[in-house]
Amino acid sequence: MPAEVDGLAPKGDPRDNPVATKEDEFQLLRGHVQGALPPEIAKGDVALRNTPEGLVISPREVGFFDSGSAEIRASSQAAFERLAKVLSEIASDIRVEGHTDNVPIHDARFASNWDLSTARATTTVRLLVTEYGFSPRRLAAAGYTEYRPIANNVTAAGRAMNRRVDIVVPRKPALP
C-alpha cells in the first residue's frame, strides 16, 4: 500500500495510484463524507466547502443543535456517528470551530456568543474522544462567535447559516 499523502489517506484504503495528490485526497475524503450524509447535505443541515486551508464540514445549528444549546440533538446522533466513522478512517488532525450569528446571547448557561461558540466546539471534540475513540492529540477546538460569518447576518436565513460548527480537516500533514 502506498504511503499516506499529507496524513489524509484513509486507513486501509487500497490505492491504484501511488502518486496521489493532495487534491485527490481531499476529493476522496469529500466523497466519503457525501456518501455518509446524503440526506443531511440535501436538507442543508450539513455543508461542505473546499478552502485553501482544507476541507470544511459544517453541521449547522438548524440540524444539529437547538438554538442557544451546545449539545448535539439526539435526532442528529446517527448522522454524527456516520461522520465520525468517516473521520476516524483518516490520519489527519481535525480542528472543530464553533460559530454563532451576531445576535447576542445571555442566558443562565452562556454569558456571551463566545461562550456558546466555544462550548459547541468543545462539546463536539469531547464527543469525538469519548464516544468515538479519537485521539485527543488529533483534535483542537476554537470558538469564533460571529466574527467568521459565511453569510450575511442581516437576514434570518443568513444568521441561520452562520450558526454552525465547522469541522476542518487541514491540508497540512498531522504532527507525529
In a domain, 13, yes or no: no
CATH number at residue 130: 3.30.1330.60
Q: How confident is the model at residue 7 (pLDDT cuts 50, 70, 90)?
A: very low
Domain span at residue 27? 22-170
Q: Is 165 contained in some domain?
A: yes
Adjacency order of strands within the sheet including 54-59 = 46-50, 54-59, 164-170, 94-99, 139-145
Residue 7 has what DSSP assignment? T
Domain-embedded: residue 30: yes
The CA angle 33-39-42, to the nearest 5 degrees, is 90
Total domains present in the chain: 1
- Work out the pLDDT band at 14, boundaries 50, 70, 90: very low
pLDDT band for 82, please (50, 70, 90 cuts).
Answer: very high
pLDDT in tens, 117-136: 999 999 999 999 999 999 99
83 domain residue, yes or no: yes
Give the DSSP H or E segment for 129: helix 113-130
Taking the C-alpha atoms of residue 95 and residue 46, their distance in angstroms, rounded to an integer, is 17
**What's the CA gap between 165 and 163, in Å, rounded?**
7
Asked if residue 4 has pLDDT above 80, the reply is no
* In-domain check, residue 87: yes
pTM (two decimals): 0.84
Contact 2, 169 (CB under 8 A): no
- In this structure, is residue 176 part of a structural domain? no
Domain assignment present for 71: yes
| Mode of pairing for the β-strands spanning 139-145 and 164-170 | unpaired
pLDDT digits (tens, 9 = 90+) for 83-114: 999 999 998 999 999 999 999 998 999 999 99
